[in-house]
Chain A
Amino acid sequence: MEKITSVGVVETQYFTCNEEIKLECGDTLKPVTVAYETYGKLNQAKDNAILILHALSGNAHAAGYHNEEDKKPGWWEDMIGPGKAFDTDKYCLICSNFLGGCSGTTGPSSINPKTNRPYASDFPVITIEDMVKIQVKLVDHLGIDKLLSVAGGSMGGMQALEWAISYPYKIKSCIVIASTSRLSAQGIAFNEVGRKAITADPFWNNGHYYNEDKKPDKGLALARMVAHITYLSEESMHQKFGRRLQDKVNLDFSFDIDFQVESYLRHQGKSFVGRFDANSYLYITKAMDYFDLVEKHGSLCNAFNKVLAKFLIISYTTDWLFPPVQSKEIVRALMNMDKEVTYCDIDSPFGHDAFLLEAERQTKIIKSFLKDIS
């Protein structure tokens, strides 16, 4: 019999928080609906839950399939399941779509109860702190006092750090992969190009395009193409595409697609448009840009002053968007504050995307780390 390694068919669930949520910008939101999925069983003591935090373009569907015919599993299928890093035989995994998203949780495409129309650009500017605030409501709703761990890569890692700092009594451990305590100028720059691509699209219409036939698809696709380059490395692009031509032997001497890498990026842009909302992209990248633990707390050491969790920080050698040196800054501050922290710098050619691709090595590290948390 084949060994079962997937959680199988799963269903997205919804929780609506009817409390008024006060946001960092000063505005309030009510109600907030949260889309989430769970994998594995919550034990009676409710102390085996791990919250998985997704990155920019992720969603609540982290593992398994939505129906029998579904060909594409959740975004972290390699890491979540029976016997995997996040072992569903042992732990109960929770993953929710974050605030401002477009995959079930309240965001700019949701209906504003005051106008009965989509929020669009009336949606308040949200932050990582706000996202975590909503996640806390969900975890409370599920009756969990303390999470065994929170874990996330990239922007998910920012949320994990926010959990550790703002809710120290609510988590036992914190796994931060390919992330940072503040996005670099380079990171902000790329996000701005992405936003500009969207807002420069004539169909963006100041965000009010939900009831129109044409949407800012071209702008969103372009934003994704630019961003996708930052997720790869020079080495991985060379390996994957080199200078190989796409379905042709000779150059075209035109502006059509010549190279495989062009075709790949266009495909990435096109398929992204089908599953993502342009306004969400604007809000989420802004939240990422605003995240700055040093600015907020005076210093990283101050930020980590009250944390209680045991930390695991992982970086990837060829990640230039969230480079290892930024992970080391976090580790240094934690060590200086005498907190328990383990740091692994994994040698991988895959750039920032490694956190989604290097399942095998990541699994060994995370499994060992979680074994000691109880």
Chain B
Amino acid sequence: MNEHYKKSQGLHLNYAVISDFIAEGSKVLDLGCGSGDLLYLLKEKKNAQGRGVEIDNDNVIQCIEKGLSVFQGDIDEGLKEYQDQSYDYVILNQTLQCTHKPDYVIQEMLRVGKKIVISFPNFAYWKVRNDLFFGGRMPKSKILPFEWYNTPNIHLVTIKDFREFCEKREITILKEVLTTRAEVKTSIFHKLFANLLTEEVIFVISNKVQCL
């Protein structure tokens, strides 16, 4: 086990959750892969054939250092370099809310991938509502650390919004993992009030009805 692996192991709960979704030896495309920690984890743990897309130069270099294959590009420009249904999974981890055209990005992901993994901070989380309702200010938290004027999060979304979007576009939700304060929440109570109680959500979606 080398240093990259150790570093990425304890980093994010959603890395662990996403890693659980991914079947052994899958072909994975990670959009906005950052410095490549998740991809590296999937490569080491799941023997995944991983590829990344990343816009930032320094992040790209970090990916290369980890031996990952990465494409420097802007996901808002679409995935025209990729063939239809050429990946088992296309991942958009904590990046959806930063895209300029989220609907187009999702549509492109569904074209390229058989299954899509999307995670985002839930803007209807009670603490977020609390900030806005009682504080009267744009909410800030660990997941949403920016000021209103410099935030890259320009398309904030709630669980309810996303479910509705999927329904309208006839997208199948295969799985929905709710996490709050770095813990996966599975109680019936939590699920009932998911939109209020969930800090971060991870969806697995697909164009066709498939069983995970």
Contacts and interface: CB of A to CB of B under 8 A. Distances in A.
Given A331-B81, A335-B51, A365 B69 contact: no
B64 A369 contact: yes
Most chain B CB within 10 A, of A342, A343, A372, is at A342
A368 B64 contact: yes
A208 interface: no
Interface in B38-77: 49, 51, 57, 60-61, 63-73
A344 interface: yes
Contacts of A341: 69, 71
Interface in B165-184: none
B210 interface: no
Nearest to B80: A332
Contacts of B83: 336
B86 A344 contact: no
Nearest to B55: A345
Q: How large is the interface on A (under 10, 10 to 19, 20 to 34, 35 or more residues)?
A: 20 to 34
Interface of B is mostly: mixed
Given A368-B61, A369-B64, A371-B65, A335 B49 contact: no
A340 interface: yes
Contacts, number: 52
Interface in A329-374: 331-332, 335-336, 338, 340-347, 361, 364-365, 368-369, 371-372
Contacts of A345: 72-73
Contact of B61 (A332, A338, A365): A365
A346 B64 contact: no
B82 interface: yes
B49 A344 contact: no
Nearest to B83: A336
B183 to A, nearest CB: 36
B86 A346 contact: no
Contacts of B63: 342
Contacts of A46: none
Interface in A280-336: 310, 312, 328, 331-332, 335-336
Given A332-B81, A336-B86, A364 B61 contact: yes
Contacts of A335: 51, 71, 81-82
Given A336-B83, A361-B57, A343 B67 contact: no
Interface of B: 27, 49, 51, 57, 60-61, 63-73, 80-83, 86
Interface of A: 310, 312, 328, 331-332, 335-336, 338, 340-347, 361, 364-365, 368-369, 371-372
6 contacts: A331-B71, A336-B82, A342-B60, A342-B64, A342-B70, A364-B61
In the A-B complex, list the 4 residue pairs whose CB atoms are closest, starting with the nearest.
Answer: A372-B67, A368-B64, A368-B65, A332-B81
